[in-house]
């Protein structure tokens, strides 16, 4: 049996803590730092996500994980100028892996603060340069170039966690889990996400462009490793809103939709035009952008912008926000289980959703299909539930 002592468990008082592998060796090597219990939960789930995305879409993939769910995930698709500004990558030359990471981190920058990063390919210098200024706990990847190691080992005063994962590792078919002294066993979720899950199209409209296929498959892989209930919005080769761990499906949709709205509003010219004073940390800039787009920003928060912004602008009106959001189109949506009502479809339409994949099987499938037809959406039944707990 292989064992490794951890920094501590879920909380600092849960000590001692360790990870174990029975009858074999660890599928990873700790290259730097000392991981904790949550670090491994995030790293092992995130690695599965990017490894599967790489196999399904044949593109370098990245994920940003927080509390055992992805805050963002993306694949190697070039960024336009607005996204380069919104993601704070400027005019840097980006390798394919760096493009994927920029998209994963850029989906929800507030939620990605202090994340664990997963990368499908060996980490190169350009990707390491993007990771270097961000606040995160560590990276799991199949390996690291010498240049990337030199950069990343300097983070967190030398304590930044780097895990090298064996890309050929296949876990046992049966997995177990102990809760309150009771051990449960099940077959692990080895259902492979594949394009066949998009073929059973049940709406009047049935066309599915290549970009929508890519984004729907990306959403399904993301959902497979997201705490349930979950709904995922994707566009342009990345997650733009992920609603995780809600007890009601429509609340998942509202949460994911609100995040997707925020993602798109961050590309509004008024947001891209915010002029920050020199020396303002990246995380503080993200907080101000979020406050600028928040209807509930207090006067005290707004007063604090004087020391951060060169000019404090007028905020977007409700009409301006809606006009901008109405230009968002081509969004794909995946759900880890069926929609019991059509309410999620109505909410999704407000965020430009045109393509939907869900398992189907509800007694109200007809009402959900009718709602999709009303908005001219394409919906496929995957016939596969993807709960993750």
Q: In a 3-state reduction of DSSP, which class is residue 13? A: coil
Tell me the C-alpha distance between 216 and 196, whole Å.
12
| CB-CB contact of 309 with 276 (8 Å) | yes
Q: Identify the active-site residue in 51, 66, 268, 388.
A: 66
The b-or-e profile of 45-81 (16+ CB within 10 A means b, else e) is bbbbbbbbbbebbebbbbbbbbebbbbbbbbbbebee
Structure tokens at 97: 């892996």
- Residue given tokens 């490793």 in the structure block: 225
First-last CA distance in the chain: 26
Q: Identify the active-site residue in 7, 67, 156, 251.
A: 67
Q: How far is CA 151 from the centre of its chain?
A: 24
Tell me the C-alpha distance between 332 and 140, whole Å.
28
Annotated active-site residue 229? The verdict is: yes
| CB-CB contact of 253 with 350 (8 Å) | no
Annotated active-site residue 67? The verdict is: yes
How many other C-beta atoms can be found within 10 angstroms of the C-beta atom of residue 315? 15
- Residue given tokens 């994980």 in the structure block: 65
Annotated active-site residue 259? The verdict is: no
Q: Smallest Cα–Cα separation from 117: which of 325, 8, 32, 128?
A: 128
Q: Smallest Cα–Cα separation from 75: which of 191, 213, 261?
A: 213
Q: Smallest Cα–Cα separation from 227: which of 62, 355, 337?
A: 337
Tell me the C-alpha distance between 288 and 281, whole Å.
11
Annotated active-site residue 157? The verdict is: no
Report in angstroms the alpha-carbon separations of 386 from 151, 193, 225.
Answer: 37, 10, 8
Q: Identify the active-site residue in 229, 242, 259, 268.
A: 229
Catalytic residues: 66-67, 229, 389
């Amino acid at each position: 049996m292989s064992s490794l002592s951890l920094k501590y468990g879920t909380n600092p008082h849960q000590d001692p803590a360790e990870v174990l592998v029975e009858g074999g060796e660890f599928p990873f090597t700790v290259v730097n730092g000392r991981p904790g219990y949550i670090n491994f939960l995030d790293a092992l789930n995130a690695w599965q996500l990017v490894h599967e995305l790489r196999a399904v879409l044949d593109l370098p993939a990245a994920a940003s994980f927080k509390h055992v769910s992805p805050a963002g995930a993306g694949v190697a698709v070039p960024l336009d100028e607005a996204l380069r500004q919104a993601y704070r990558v400027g005019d840097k030359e980006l390798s394919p892996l760096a493009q994927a990471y920029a998209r994963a981190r850029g989906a929800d920058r507030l939620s990605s603060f202090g994340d664990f990063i997963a990368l499908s390919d060996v980490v190169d210098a350009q990707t390491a340069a993007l990771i270097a200024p961000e606040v995160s706990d560590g990276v799991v990847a199949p390996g690291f170039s010498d240049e990337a190691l030199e950069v990343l080992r300097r983070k967190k005063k030398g304590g930044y966690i780097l895990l090298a994962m064996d890309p050929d590792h296949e876990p046992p078919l049966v997995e177990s889990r102990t809760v309150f002294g009771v051990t449960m066993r099940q077959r692990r979720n080895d259902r492979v996400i594949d394009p066949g899950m998009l073929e059973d199209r049940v709406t009047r409209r049935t066309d599915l462009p290549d970009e929508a296929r890519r984004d729907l498959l990306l959403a399904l892989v993301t959902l497979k490793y997201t705490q349930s209930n979950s709904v995922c919005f994707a566009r342009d080769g990345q997650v733009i809103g992920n609603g995780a761990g809600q007890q009601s499906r429509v609340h998942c949709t509202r949460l994911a939709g609100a995040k997707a709205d925020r993602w798109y509003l961050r590309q509004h010219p008024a947001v891209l035009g915010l002029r920050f004073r020199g020396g303002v940390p990246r995380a503080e800039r993200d907080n101000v952008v979020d406050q600028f787009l928040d209807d509930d920003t207090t006067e005290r928060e707004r007063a604090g912008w004087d020391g951060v912004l060169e000019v404090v602008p007028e905020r977007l009106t409700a009409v301006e926000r809606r006009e901008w959001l109405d230009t968002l189109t081509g969004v794909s949506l995946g759900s880890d289980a069926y929609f019991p009502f059509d309410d999620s479809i109505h909410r999704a339409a407000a965020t430009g959703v045109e393509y939907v994949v869900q398992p189907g099987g509800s007694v109200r499938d007809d009402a959900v299909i009718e709602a999709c037809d009303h908005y001219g959406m394409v919906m496929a039944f995957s016939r596969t539930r993807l709960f993750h707990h």
